[in-house]
Copies of this chain bind each other. A is one copy, B any other.
Amino acid sequence: MLREWVDRTAREYPARLAMTVFAAVITLFTLLLLPPWATATDTGARFVDALFTATSAVCITGLVVVDTAEYWSEYGRAVILLGIKVGGLGVMTIASLLGIAVSRRIGLTQKLLTASETKTGTTRLGEVGSLIRLIIVVSTSIELTIALILLPRFLALDESLGLALWHSTFYGISAFNNAGFVPTVDGLLPYASDWLVIIPVVLGVFIGALGFPVMLNLLQARRHGRRFLRHLSLHTKLTITTSVALLVAGLVIIGAMEWANPETLGGQDLSTKFLSALMASVMPRSGGFNTFDVGAMRAESWLVTDALMFVGGGSASTAGGIKVTTLAVMLLAIVAEARGDRDVDVFGRRIPRDTLRLSIAVVFIGATMVLVSCIALVRITDFSLSQILFEVISAFATVGLSTGITGDLPDGGKYWLSALMYLGRVGTISVLGALALRDRRRVIRFPEERPIIG
């Protein structure tokens, strides 16, 4: 019954499916965080803090209004970790399901990767089931791998076996799911110079942010040995190219801006400086971990970080934002426009024109959410626009980096950011859903007329 409903809803109302599932899961985890035993002091959490934390965990954001390690009990932290795992699976599954729906509806010859993985002739029920199984296997394998790489390092740093297991598992899940939650008060701050901790975490975040379709395509293409490159989809090539370009750009720009800032990179040696700049470049899109005080960064670095956060990671990934392919398609369209080309071509492929309209919708709706939220928070708080813009984009793009004001927001601000995390998470997915419904084609076409632009 439930599976049939999910199946029919995914087919007919994909946006509604995403919104309903996430709202239901957030409600459930809010209830799980409300009992007295969820907090360390046994006094129980305030409703707004439980709702905010549940939303942050399920939407794999990582913004916190209370310190995860200090405020919540072991039960509470386990609930949060479960919320991250469920949220990450949910995002990848629903976004991939919508990918199938889209490829069905508009009759693509080359279907999306998720669709090509399932055998033809099987029922949709079977497809959904095998997709979910596949996502669980792939994501859990990567989380375990990261945890196993981290475990010996934590043991070597004199943690007990139990604690090291807990920490490495927590970071494995939190990193791959781009969750940004940390199990200790200091988080990754003590490991700022430690390549053996930072690099696995950065890799986990980067791979998670590529998105399930890319991971699957990479796994499939690997089977073809030498002809590996030829079996990469356009989506995979665009995602990886743009992600790497943003990584290098962020590393260089933020690294240069913070180089002499005594409160961030200023006092660090060259090796740590590199790791810090790497973190500052990777984490906005949208891992959310930090190894130095984000609140102490220069205001211009915040703006660069804002831009990186807004872009986010790959489609159907655990990262948020408008997605790297959206940025890539828009940039390619602008280049084509400047060169006077009729088509938007890249990697020997032509990008369909309706993709551009979808990109505009994603960017415009995202920018509007950010603008309206900034106006609201500037009105109800006394924080500066620099801080508010950072926090708002961090919530919208489910990043979790913070200048430190989230915990001090009035309740109205906490509710607003909760809603923004939810809308930022399901919003871009829902817009994708609209494409799946594109079947009401008009028979009568109006005559064309050109308004002047610009």
B342 touches A442 (CB 8 A): yes
Give residues 232-251 of A contacting B (CB, 8 Å). 233-235, 238-239
Closest to A324 in B: B451
Smallest Cβ distance from A446 to chain B, in angstroms?
Answer: 4
**Contact segment of A85-93, A281-289, A433-441:** A433-441
Q: At the interface, yes or no: A48 with Cβ under 8 Å from chain B?
A: no
Q: At the interface, yes or no: A420 with Cβ under 8 Å from chain B?
A: no
Q: Given A378-B303, A385-B389 in contact, is the A329-B451 Cβ separation under 8 Å?
A: yes
Which one of A234, A315, A340 has the highest number of Cβ atoms from chain B below 10 Å of its Cβ?
A340
B234 touches A315 (CB 8 A): no
A303 touches B449 (CB 8 A): no
Q: Given A300-B375, A300-B379, A357-B356 in contact, is the A454-B438 Cβ separation under 8 Å?
A: no
Q: At the interface, yes or no: A162 with Cβ under 8 Å from chain B?
A: no
Residues of B within 8 A of A257 (CB): 379
Bound-complex Cα distance A331 to B375 (A): 21
Q: At the interface, yes or no: A99 with Cβ under 8 Å from chain B?
A: yes
Q: At the interface, yes or no: A223 with Cβ under 8 Å from chain B?
A: no
Q: At the interface, yes or no: A338 with Cβ under 8 Å from chain B?
A: yes
Q: At the interface, yes or no: A219 with Cβ under 8 Å from chain B?
A: no
B375 touches A360 (CB 8 A): no
Q: At the interface, yes or no: A1 with Cβ under 8 Å from chain B?
A: no
Residues of B within 8 A of A360 (CB): 330, 333-334, 337, 356, 359-360
Q: Given A333-B357, A451-B355, A454-B428 in contact, is the A440-B339 Cβ separation under 8 Å?
A: yes
A431 touches B454 (CB 8 A): yes
**Contact segment of A119-127, A168-176, A345-353:** A345-353
Contact-residue bracket for chain A: 35 or more
Q: Given A362-B453, A379-B300 in contact, is the A357-B336 Cβ separation under 8 Å?
A: yes
Task: Identify A442's interface contact among B328, B341, B351, CB under 8 A.
Answer: B341
B340 touches A439 (CB 8 A): yes
B323 touches A454 (CB 8 A): yes
Bound-complex Cα distance A316 to B454 (A): 8
B304 touches A446 (CB 8 A): no
Work out how many copies of this chain go into the complex: 2
B386 touches A328 (CB 8 A): no
Task: Identify A434's interface contact among B328, B340, B345, B351, CB under 8 A.
Answer: B340
Residues of B within 8 A of A322 (CB): 454
Bound-complex Cα distance A239 to B378 (A): 31
Closest to A446 in B: B350
Bound-complex Cα distance A330 to B376 (A): 24
Task: Identify A453's interface contact among B389, B432, B448, CB under 8 A.
Answer: B432
Q: At the interface, yes or no: A309 with Cβ under 8 Å from chain B?
A: no
Q: Mark interface residues in A375-404 (1 if CB within 8 Å of B CB, else 0).
A: 110110000111001000000000000000
Q: At the interface, yes or no: A164 with Cβ under 8 Å from chain B?
A: no
Q: Given A213-B452, A341-B440, A385-B389 in contact, is the A365-B334 Cβ separation under 8 Å?
A: yes
Q: At the interface, yes or no: A156 with Cβ under 8 Å from chain B?
A: no
Smallest Cβ distance from A260 to chain B, in angstroms?
Answer: 12
Task: Identify A112's interface contact among B329, B355, B371, B452, CB under 8 A.
Answer: B452
Residues of B within 8 A of A108 (CB): 450
A375 touches B304 (CB 8 A): yes
A315 touches B353 (CB 8 A): no
Bound-complex Cα distance A336 to B438 (A): 10
For this complex, 11 residue pairs linking A to B, each with C-beta atoms less than 8 Å apart, are: A300-B378, A322-B454, A334-B364, A340-B435, A341-B442, A345-B442, A350-B449, A362-B453, A362-B454, A385-B386, A432-B453
Interface residues of A (CB under 8 A from B): 99, 108, 110, 112, 211, 213, 233-235, 238-239, 257, 298-300, 303-304, 307, 315-316, 322-323, 325-326, 328-331, 333-334, 336-345, 348-353, 355-362, 364-365, 371, 374-376, 378-379, 384-386, 389, 428-429, 431-432, 434-435, 437-442, 445-454
A sample of 16 more A-B contacts (CB under 8 A), given A316-B452, A350-B448, is A110-B450, A233-B449, A235-B451, A257-B379, A300-B376, A329-B453, A334-B365, A337-B358, A337-B361, A341-B442, A342-B442, A343-B446, A345-B442, A358-B453, A385-B386, A428-B454
